Amino acid sequence: MKAVLLMGHGGPEMLRYGEAPDPVAGPGEVVVDIHAASVNAADWKVRRGGGRYTLTRFPHILGRDFSGVVSALGAGAVDLALGDAVFGVTEQGVEGAYAEKIAIKAAILAKKPDHLGHGEAAALALTGLTALWAIEDTAKLNAGETVLIQGGAGGVAGFAIQLAKHIGATVISTASAGNHAYVRGLGADRVIDYNAEDFADAVSGCDVVFDTVGGAVQVACYAVLKPGGRLVSIAPAPEGFKPTRRDVTTLRPNVLRDRAHLERILALLEAGAVRPPNIVHYKLAEAVAAHRVSEGRHLQGKLVFDVRRAEPDTE
Ligand SMILES: NC(=O)c1ccc[n+]([C@@H]2O[C@H](COP(=O)([O-])OP(=O)(O)OC[C@H]3O[C@@H](n4cnc5c(N)ncnc54)[C@H](OP(=O)(O)O)[C@@H]3O)[C@@H](O)[C@H]2O)c1
| For ligand 1, atom 5: residue with the closest CA | 130
Closest CA to 174 of 149, 207, 155, 198: 149
* Location of each CATH 3.40.50.720 domain in the chain: 126-251
Look at residue 187 and tell me whether its pLDDT is greater than 90.
yes
CA of 45, closest atom in ligand 1: 47
Averaged pLDDT for residues 76-100: 97
Q: What is the DSSP string of 181-244?
A: HHHHHTT-SEEEETTTS-HHHH---EEEEEESS-THHHHHHGGGEEEEEEEEESSPPPTT----
Residue type, 152: G
- Between the CA of 299 and the centroid of ligand 1 the distance, in Å, is 8
Q: How far apart are CA 156 and CA 302, in angstroms?
A: 9
* Location of each CATH 3.90.180.10 domain in the chain: 2-116+276-314
pTM: 0.97
Best residue for ligand 1 mutational test, from 95, 156, 184, 232 (most atoms within 8 Å of Cβ): 156
Averaged pLDDT for residues 60-80: 97
pLDDT at 310: 60
| For ligand 1, atom 23: residue with the closest CA | 154
- Between the CA of 131 and the centroid of ligand 1 the distance, in Å, is 12
Q: Which fold has domain 2-116+276-314?
A: Quinone Oxidoreductase; Chain A, domain 1 (3.90.180)
pLDDT at 311: 56
Look at residue 128 and tell me whether its pLDDT is greater than 90.
yes
Percent of the chain at pLDDT > 70 equals 98
pLDDT in tens, 210-261: 999 999 999 999 999 999 999 999 999 999 999 989 999 999 999 999 999 9
CA of 156, closest atom in ligand 1: 16
* Lowest-confidence region among 22-26, 98-102, 277-281, 311-315: 311-315
pLDDT in tens, 161-185: 999 999 999 999 999 999 999 999 9
CA of 215, closest atom in ligand 1: 31
Look at residue 30 and tell me whether its pLDDT is greater than 50.
yes
Look at residue 44 and tell me whether its pLDDT is greater than 90.
yes
pLDDT at 308: 87
Mean pLDDT over the full length of the chain: 96
- In this prediction, residue 309 has a pLDDT band, given cuts at 50, 70 and 90, of confident
Q: How far apart are CA 293 and CA 38, in angstroms?
A: 13
- Between the CA of 297 and the centroid of ligand 1 the distance, in Å, is 7
pLDDT at 248: 98
183 — phi, psi (to 5°)? -70, -40
Q: How far apart are CA 54 and CA 114, in angstroms?
A: 38
- Between the CA of 94 and the centroid of ligand 1 the distance, in Å, is 21
Nearest 5°: CA angle at 50, between 44 and 56?
Answer: 95
pLDDT at 237: 96
CA of 217, closest atom in ligand 1: 31
Q: How far apart are CA 220 and CA 243, in angstroms?
A: 10
pLDDT at 313: 46
Best residue for ligand 1 mutational test, from 38, 40, 46 (most atoms within 8 Å of Cβ): 40
| For ligand 1, atom 36: residue with the closest CA | 298
pLDDT at 314: 40
What residues flank ligand 1, with Cβ below 6 Å? 40-42, 126, 130, 150-151, 153-157, 174-176, 179, 194, 212-214, 217, 234-235, 255, 294, 297-299
pLDDT at 244: 87
The architecture that CATH gives domain 126-251 is 3-Layer(aba) Sandwich (3.40)
